[in-house]
Amino acid sequence: MSVAMRLTRLATAVLLISATSAYAADPVKLQMYYPIAVGGKITHTVDGLVADFEKIHPEISIQPVYTGDYATTVTKALTAFRGGNAPQIAVIGDIEAYSLIDAGAIVPVSDLASDDAGKAWIDGFYPAFIRHIAGKVWSIPFQRSTVVMYWNKQAFEKAGLNAGQAPKNWQEVEDFGKKLVIKDGNEVKQWGIEIPSTPIGYWTFQGVAATNGGHLDNGKGTAVTFNTPSNVEALQWMTDLSQKYGVSPKGAIAWSTTPQDFIDGKTAMIVTTTGNLTTIHDNAKFPFGVAMLPEKTQRGSPTGGGNLYVFKNSTAEQQKAAMAFIRWLSAPEQAARWSIATGYVATSPAAWETANMKSYSSRVPQALVAREQLKYSQPEISTYNSVQIQELLNRAVEAAVTQTKSPEQALATAQSQADRLLKPYQ
């Protein structure tokens, strides 16, 4: 080979390497806010999903930022948006849609996926997880859940109860709970049931209220219906479990410690998110079951959890990259992987048809309960000024269970304060 040819080939190789290096060094950069206050080994799973996406799409770089619980995440995201420094993507509670729209912070996902393929993609999720506002879909379901009941089959057997059958209604919760309480003198070694009431008592309360035919809002984001007779009755029952029936700890019960109390055998039944399924499955030393919430007048539960949002102050190039990631992340294989890793509900029927999900649900049939409960579920309470409205209801639930106020007084106070906050939107 001549010297000239060698020099030509060397120059070409140098150009290719330079071009490749420039391309690799300049990917589209995205930041994703993510709430870490959820069940399971979340950060490890999220980091793994991001790394796998970046291998397929080296032209896109994603930086997860772990931002705390849902309320903290939406507050940080809105603060960043108003300061001109919002993330391009965020996993934020589905219930925050009205507040994010009101702030002008997000782009409707249905506008970014408006062709036939995009519409088919959105239509592929469970309808219970899709919220339509002003004729648009503003976010895509990701880590979604319902409120369910877990019960310790070993504790049931020792109490002379049918280990294979959870309580079907409120009366059975009371009856079973009395048999499940274990005392050593005046000290309770095992409670019958724990229903967390702080710091997000509004969600578990909505679950109890739903089983009594109750709703907490008008479905339009503009009004709440806290102090209806059925809702007052639901909060009274939550209070009575400890004060009247003695089957639950007195005072406020913490959301964060409830799953561990169950794992440690301190309570025989708990009400919590299906998102804690994997943690309980991996750590409980006893057989357990998962059931739909016990009913008073009907089946019911709120949906819950976080959706993927695209923020408005990102460039067109970043929005395109964000949608590529969201569509990949919500595809059946990844949705199944996420559900298996965490216990959250796989968000589309197609995800349940994957080989991995079929294998998992055959090994862990408890995972099917939340999916089956979707047909009875109602949307989680969602309004304008959502963080403030949720906090009003949180305080009402805590005031009732700590007996600072009667359930009727607590809900009436929250109702009047919420009415004032929502008046501008009516």
Alpha-carbon torsion 69, 71, 72, 76, what sign?
A: positive
Q: What is the mean pLDDT of residues 25-52?
A: 84
Alpha-carbon distance of 270 to 149, in angstroms, equals 6
Confidence of residue 25 (pLDDT cuts 50, 70, 90): low
Alpha-carbon distance of 319 to 340, in angstroms, equals 29
pLDDT-above-70 percentage for the chain: 93
Q: What's the pLDDT tens digit per position in 357-370? A: 999 999 999 999 99
Alpha-carbon distance of 170 to 297, in angstroms, equals 9
Would you state the pLDDT for residue 198?
A: 96
Six token digits for residue 28: 């589209």
Q: Which domains occur in the chain, in start order?
A: 3-144+304-378 (3.40.190.10), 146-303+382-425 (3.40.190.10)
- Above 50 in pLDDT, residue 385? yes
Give the range among 32-36, 84-88, 348-352, 359-363 with minimum mean pLDDT: 32-36
Question: Which DSSP string corresponds to 237-278?
Answer: HHHHHHHTS--S-SS--BTTTHHHHHHTTSBSEEEEEGGGHH
With a CB cutoff of 8 Å and minimum separation 6, the contacts of 107 are 310, 311, 312, 319
Confidence of residue 37 (pLDDT cuts 50, 70, 90): low
Would you state the pLDDT for residue 396?
A: 98
Q: What is the mean pLDDT of residues 409-424?
A: 98
Alpha-carbon distance of 236 to 90, in angstroms, equals 37
Q: Which residue has the tokens 């009371």?
A: 174
- Above 70 in pLDDT, residue 19? no
- Above 80 in pLDDT, residue 162? yes
Would you state the pLDDT for residue 41?
A: 72
Six token digits for residue 91: 């996993």
Q: What's the pLDDT tens digit per position in 62-101? A: 999 999 889 899 999 999 999 999 999 999 999 999 999 9
Confidence of residue 15 (pLDDT cuts 50, 70, 90): very low
- Above 90 in pLDDT, residue 61? yes
CA angle 213, 217, 222 (to 5 degrees): 160
In one letter, which amino acid is 73?
T
- The H-or-E segment that residue 31 falls in is strand 28-34
Q: What's the pLDDT tens digit per position in 250-305? A: 999 999 999 999 999 999 999 999 999 999 999 999 999 999 999 999 999 999 99
- The H-or-E segment that residue 188 falls in is strand 187-190
Closest CA to 210 of 319, 299, 113, 138: 299
Would you state the pLDDT for residue 48?
A: 95
Q: What's the pLDDT tens digit per position in 177-228? A: 999 999 999 999 999 999 999 999 999 999 999 999 999 999 999 999 999 9
- Above 60 in pLDDT, residue 157? yes
Alpha-carbon distance of 271 to 274, in angstroms, equals 9
Helices 316-329 and 42-56: angle between axes, nearest 10 degrees: 120
Please state, in angstroms and as integers, the Cα–Cα distance from residue 125 to each residue in 91, 132, 307, 317, 406, following that order: 17, 13, 12, 26, 41
Confidence of residue 136 (pLDDT cuts 50, 70, 90): very high
Six token digits for residue 190: 């095992």
Confidence of residue 10 (pLDDT cuts 50, 70, 90): very low
Would you state the pLDDT for residue 12?
A: 47
Alpha-carbon distance of 372 to 348, in angstroms, equals 13
In one letter, which amino acid is 379?
P
Would you state the pLDDT for residue 368?
A: 97
Confidence of residue 234 (pLDDT cuts 50, 70, 90): very high
Q: To the nearest whole number, what is the mean pLDDT of the chain? A: 93
- Above 90 in pLDDT, residue 141? yes
Which residue has better confidence, 322 or 20? 322
With a CB cutoff of 8 Å and minimum separation 6, the contacts of 254 are 196, 198, 199
Q: Would you tell me how many other CB atoms lie within 10 Å of the CB of residue 65?
A: 14
Would you state the pLDDT for residue 1?
A: 52
With a CB cutoff of 8 Å and minimum separation 6, the contacts of 213 are 230, 296, 297, 298, 300
Q: Would you tell me how many other CB atoms lie within 10 Å of the CB of residue 27?
A: 15
With a CB cutoff of 8 Å and minimum separation 6, the contacts of 144 are 94, 129, 303, 304, 305, 306, 307, 344, 345, 347
The helix/strand/coil state of 193 is coil
Please state, in angstroms and as integers, the Cα–Cα distance from residue 177 to each residue in 13, 161, 245, 295, following that order: 75, 10, 8, 15
- Above 70 in pLDDT, residue 20? no
